[in-house]
């Protein structure tokens, strides 16, 4: 699945925007969170460790 939503509404790197946007789109379409492998494929990365790196660098969610 390739994601169409490439921007989120807060200050992140471009790649983080793509990862967050794809995760949100996936959840909306499938009702559950994507795996790291599915996120990597959706944003065009070959390394799952790259996705994990970017996920760990995301700021905590604000209530």
Q: Where are the domains of the chain?
A: 1-63
Higher pLDDT, 60 or 41: 41
* pLDDT for 8: 46
Question: What pTM was estimated for this model as a whole?
Answer: 0.77
Q: State both tokens at 61.
A: 């969610």
Average of per-residue pLDDT values in the chain: 85
User: pLDDT tier at 3 (50, 70, 90 boundaries)?
Assistant: low
Q: Which residues contact 57 (CB under 8 A, 6 or more apart)?
A: 16
CA distances to 21, 62, 63 from 36, in Å: 14, 22, 24
CATH topology for 1-63 is Arc Repressor Mutant, subunit A (1.10.10)
Residue 4 reports pLDDT greater than 80: no
Cα–Cα distances (Å) from 8 to 1, 20, 22, in that order, read 18, 7, 10
């Amino acid at each position: 699945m390739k994601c169409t939503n490439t921007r989120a509404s807060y200050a992140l790197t471009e790649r983080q925007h793509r990862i967050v946007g794809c995760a949100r789109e996936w959840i909306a379409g499938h009702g559950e969170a994507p795996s790291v492998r599915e996120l990597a494929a959706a944003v065009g990365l070959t390394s799952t460790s790259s996705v994990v790196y970017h996920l760990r660098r995301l700021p905590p969610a604000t209530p």
